[in-house]
Amino acid sequence: MSKIFTRYGDGTPVELSEKELMEDMQAGTEDAADRANVPVLTDDDLKHMFDILASPHSFVSVERGKEVILTYDAGTLKIRRVGVNVDRIQALQIYEKIMGADTMELCHVDYSYKPIKPIITMEQPIMEQALLATHIPLFYGAMPNLGLYSQPDGPFPNPSELLPNGMIKEARESLEQTVEEAVRDIVFTGSAMYESGADGINLDSVGAAGDADFLASLIACRKLREKYPDICIQIGMAGEFILGMHGQLEFDGVRLAGLYPQDQVVLAKQAGATIFGPVVNTNTTESTPWNLARAVTFMKACGEVAEIPIHPNMGMGVGAVPVNDHPPIDIVSRASTAMTSLCKIDGL
Amino acid sequence: MGDPVGMAITHAHASGMGGMRGAGDLVARAQMSRGMRTWEAKAYVAEKLKISVADLTDPVIMTEVREDLQIGQMTPMPGCAKGIEAKFNIARELDFNINCVNRFRTRTSI
């Protein structure tokens, strides 16, 4: 029996037998189901995923009519990151006219809301000029990044230094203070860019600093929604699970620590988000069949309960996409196809 | 993260709507401004454009539609609506509330 070419989560090639591939998918879906308390994939789902993974072709795509919308985080940054020396409006045009983008995001290289605040008047004219020359919807995006509010980068005591010393109360107080500051910065920047004409505001890598990070994003989202009823806000997550760095923070009476995507999307809607971007992290030491079955299990459950559009993150290192600066097209196309065809999603 | 060939371009070919080659930007606007999920957004845009849902990703059909309605096209011909001009037409033809179009009207006292 011939072997099936696939890869590990770091992109390293590996060949598996049909039995090994099926066993890895089964283990992946069971891992997700156990962690998030959601159903495992059905036999039909696993058979469909097997066919996608076992395809002999180097590139796989969805069936005609099943296509979804693509949104982007750190949009214009990715052109500069590969050393292409164009300015940001040109980068937006490259995505729009050369890369088939449905939407695009303007962003700054220092991709957090806090450092954007003092240079906002330099960012607004770029957005305003870009909107005159482009056609597709443009987001402005950055990260809440609550890590920037604690010492040595910010004014508050660092919870990561307080917690190992048993100073739990002090760490919690510090996190609560960072939430207030971050909300102010996100609302200030989001308001300015919306008033410059942006089609949407993207809060990217939400939850990277734990439950306080998620709380700040939800509060900021609600404030922006109250201020601008027609605004489009996308909340894109950093990981599949909300880390309980504080442990007791709540939004609308729901404890944030420990929430998985199917619960996160409910709070995102309550906060007024228009689009939610759930995440499943890629495990580098497991195979793609394991990672993909695991990711699709989380996202299928999220898509079933979502009452707003969801765009699962499928960038490097998430959504079963390998952790490598040059993600292999064979795996990315398979992950993209499986996610889109097996889950009730609205975009990537 | 990840280079654009491996990420953005691969997703665009594997499962994207093709942006302005099709109606990807328009379906995105339906999601963004009306909160519609994909199947609702596709049906809404198809009805407004008077085409089938399957046609939304067909670059041949959509180029004709976009040219007829002056809502922006990949290869801009002389005299056709471009940029903000095309977005004025998108707002009218698809009944979308487009932030920058509204602000353009206010700033120019249109």
Which architecture does CATH list for A70-277?
Answer: Alpha-Beta Barrel (3.20)
Pairwise CB contact (< 8 Å): A199 & B98:
yes
ipTM over cut 0.95: yes
pLDDT score of A258 = 97
Tens-place pLDDT, residues B59-76: 999 999 999 999 999 999
Task: Report the alpha-carbon distance of residue A290 to residue A286 in Å, rounded.
Answer: 6
Q: Per the CB < 8 Å rule, is A136 touching B24? A: yes
Residue A74, pLDDT above cutoff 90 = no
Task: Provide CATH 3.20.20.210 ranges for chain A.
Answer: 70-277
Mean pLDDT for A285-298 is: 98
**What residue ranges in chain A does DSSP mark as E strands?**
4-7, 13-16, 104-106, 138-142, 200-206, 233-237, 250-251, 254-255, 275-277
In this prediction, residue A75 carries a pLDDT of 84
Q: Which residue has the higher pLDDT, A79 or A186?
A: A186
What is the pLDDT at residue A1?
62
Nearest Cβ partner of B19 from A96, A309, A333?
A96
By Cβ distance, the residue of B6, B28, B99 closest to A198 is B99
> Is it the case that residue A165 has pLDDT exceeding 70?
yes
A131 contacts in chain B (CB < 8 Å) = 84, 87, 100
The answer to whether the CB atoms of A132 and B38 lie below 8 A apart is: no
A107: tokens are: 């962003």
Question: Over 90: is that where the pLDDT of A331 sits?
Answer: yes
Residue A266 has pLDDT above 80, yes or no: yes
Contacts of B84 in chain A (CB under 8 A): 131-133
Nearest CA in chain A to B91: A135
Q: Which residues of B touch A232 (CB under 8 A)?
A: 32-33
Of all residues in chain A, the percent with pLDDT exceeding 70 is: 100
Question: What is the C-alpha to C-alpha distance for residues A141 and A104, in angstroms, rounded to an integer?
Answer: 10
Beta pairing partners, A156: A150
- Rounded to a whole number, what is the distance in Å from the CA of A335 to chain B's nearest CA? 9
Query: pLDDT confidence of A247, banded at 50, 70, 90?
Result: very high
Average pLDDT, chain A: 96
pLDDT band at A2 (very low <50, low <70, confident <90, very high): confident
Average pLDDT, integer, range A275-292: 98
**Number of alpha helices (DSSP H) and beta strands (DSSP E) in chain A:** 12, 9
Q: Do A327 and B32 touch (CB under 8 A)?
A: no
Smallest CA-to-CA distance from B11 within A266, A333, A295 is with A333
A153 φ, ψ to 5°? -85, -20
The reply to whether residue A68 touches residue B38, judged by beta carbons under 8 angstroms, is: yes
A202: number of CA atoms within 13 Å, CB side? Answer: 27
Q: Grade residue B31 by pLDDT with cuts at 50, 70 and 90.
A: very high
Beta strands in A74-224 (DSSP E): 104-106, 138-142, 200-206
**% of chain B at pLDDT higher than 90:** 94
In tens, the pLDDT along B85-110 reads 999 999 999 999 999 999 999 999 88
Asked if B29's CB is within 8 angstroms of A137's CB, the reply is yes
* The residue to which tokens 């993260």 are assigned: B1
pTM of the model: 0.96
Which residues face A276 on adjacent strands?
A235, A310
Q: What pLDDT sits at residue B2? A: 80
Residue A151 has pLDDT above 90, yes or no: yes
Write out chain A residues lying below 8 Å of B12, CB-based. 70, 99-101
On chain A, the residues whose CB falls within 8 A of the CB of B83 are 132-135
From chain B, the residues in CB contact with A348 under 8 A are: 11, 15-16
